[in-house]
Chain A
Amino acid sequence: MPANPAMPANPSMTVPDDECESTVAVIDDDPDIREALRGLLRSVGLRAELFASVQEFLGTVRPDRPGCLILDVRLPGRSGLDLQEQLAQANIRRPVIFISGHADVPMSVRAMKAGAVEFLTKPVRDQDLLDAIQVAITKDRARRDEERTLARLRADFDTLTPRERAVMMLVVAGRLNKQIAAELGLSEATVKVHRGHAMRKMHVQSVAELVRIADKLVSSQARS
């Protein structure tokens, strides 16, 4: 999803990602392959975290870490595909790149449906992998930006008084001030004051923007 166009290209929004450099988590039970991938990633300036098993990853992972995952499909303990579903359940949204010794079509279809960025077959072409990582990191960054925006919007929304919220929801539903006043049993002037406060607190200039924000908040709430 593209970044929120209503949100100005605020440089402060990208600061946390720069502070916390993107890392690539490699989960493969083969130490040679783990080391080889670490080497390759280092040669293009990427940081890698190595895990021998899914359990190890789940035990040490920091969900808020920016970056992506490289997963061997046939991991001991739990298969990579199962892990993908588990990550979704645990609300870990890092994009996943699968590598597999012998990918069959159903396996790759399942992975891509579950949101994998790429499904690569061993031995992997380095450029394919690095491209996939680039896509994944970009995707992750966009997602994180959006999440942060959403978090900010939610925080803004939380500063509204209950009355301001009620007025705002009716405004975005397309009601006129008069209608809102009648519905809430207020004077039209009071509705105008609440409406002005809500727009200022939500940092918007127009009703159209307010509608868009309200949509985002509602759909994100429905998602979670």
Chain B
Amino acid sequence: MTKPDRRRRFDFPAIAGYAVAVGSVGAALGVSRWLDVHAVTAPVSLFLCAVMFSAWFGGFGPGLLATSLSILAFKYYYAMPLHSLAADVKEIPRILVLALSALFAGLLSAAQRRATGSFRRARDDLAQTVQALERSNQALRAENVERVRAEEALRNAQADLARVARLTTMGELAASIAHEVNQPLMAVVTNADTCLRWLAKDPPDLDETREAAERIVSAGHRAADIIRTIRTLARKSATEVTRFDVNSAISEVLALTSGELRRYDVLLETQLSAGLEPVSGDRGQIQQVILNLTVNAIEAMTAGRHTPRVLRVSSQMAGRNNVLIAVADTGTGLDPTTVDGIFDAFFTTKPDGMGMGLSICRSIVEAHGGRLWASSNSPRGSIFQFTVPAAASEALNARESRNASESLNDSAG
């Protein structure tokens, strides 16, 4: 680096300044003597130059030394009586003028030197500050990259967590889901047996055979529908935004939980409005929310001994731009002392609960631009309801929808 070198030039030991003062006055004297010898009147200004140079190089002290030496040399060589340090009275004004001008020139020079020095120092300080700024800027940039990476990791972790929560819920339902798949399977097997029996008759009864075969087909489709829902919920994939019908999404989830309802003797009431606008969003995620709320409702009802156990799932338009989905139960209800915390992560009232379900539900709903809230059911139990903006209203507010899908990606799960 060149900067520290340039600095060092001004950090000579003070003695150097004095040496320069002596040298420069000596040089000025030499030059003026040489000019004298060649019959040219020696200019006094050479001494002024020596003083200025010394003051510029070494500062005030060397300047003063050079001034003194110059006066002495001038007296000795150029003021009467010559070659003596004693001064004639008539010469005193000349010497004084020289002394004053030398002093003045020296002071100015020294002042200028100081100014230059402080200017240089300021410039160096500035350079240093700039350098420090550059360094911290680089650090910030690195930090930013780190932050983006951390955000992505968080997003992935959230998606994994949501999936784990989904799979946990489905694991809890495994017995019921197995039952739901087994039912159409039972129908298929029985109908197929029936088919074979009609065919084995002599003559085969083709009408009956056909009827039984048709029943096989419809039961097979039913099994496939159930398996498709399971796969949708279990898959690991990025957020997939589509337009879909909320009622069919609800029906699929309820088909999955009907075994659970039967198992716990829960009566299901559905009120799905026929005039719903389609919504746009991730169908699997919305189904996860419905599944979660449904399973919570069943658990709230089986926790107590209250009967009847009624699960009411409804959908309707809320205003022109939102679809409202409500899941109401007749279970233990909300505890007013903890109701504010139910959507917080790790909040749970279940002995083996993870406390992530409702927190994930809320982040999914909010990422879709909707709202999820809980209230008390009458005379007993609780109602969880959430809104999802209708697809049409989203198209009107393209910007909002873009924001929604961006934050949707943020909490993808």
Residues of A within 8 A of B (CB): 29-30, 32-33, 35-37, 39-40, 42-44, 74-79, 99, 101-102, 122-126
Contact = CB atoms under 8 A, between A and B. Distances in A.
Q: Chain B: interface residue count, which band? A: 20 to 34
Contacts of B191: 36, 39-40
A64 B234 CA distance: 51
Nearest to A29: B262
Q: Top 7 A-B pairs ranked by shortest CB distance?
A: A126-B193, A123-B189, A36-B190, A32-B187, A123-B186, A122-B186, A43-B197
Interface in B205-228: 208, 211-212, 215, 218-219, 222
Contacts, number: 85
Contact of A43 (B179, B194, B262): B194
A79 B265 CA distance: 8
Nearest to B180: A101
Interface string B174-213: 0100110011111111110110011000000000100110
Contacts of B211: 39
Interface in B155-189: 175, 178-179, 182-189
Nearest to B199: A43
Nearest to B212: A39
Nearest to B261: A76
Interface in B267-310: 267
A43 B178 CA distance: 29
B262 to A, nearest CB: 5
Nearest to B216: A36
Main secondary structure of the interface of A (DSSP, over half): loop
Main secondary structure of the interface of B (DSSP, over half): helix
Interface of B: 175, 178-179, 182-191, 193-194, 197-198, 208, 211-212, 215, 218-219, 222, 259, 261-263, 265, 267
Contacts of B182: 101-102, 122-123
B137 to A, nearest CB: 66
A102 B194 contact: no
Contacts of B188: 123
Contacts of B212: 39
Contacts of B185: 122-123
A30 B187 contact: yes
Contact of B186 (A74, A79, A124): A124
Contact of B265 (A77, A124, A125): A77
B222 A44 contact: no
A43 B196 CA distance: 10
Contact of B189 (A42, A74, A124): A124
29 contacts: A30-B183, A30-B187, A32-B187, A33-B187, A35-B215, A36-B187, A36-B190, A36-B215, A39-B191, A39-B215, A40-B190, A40-B194, A43-B208, A74-B179, A76-B261, A76-B265, A78-B265, A101-B183, A101-B186, A122-B182, A122-B183, A122-B185, A123-B182, A123-B189, A123-B190, A124-B186, A124-B189, A126-B189, A126-B194
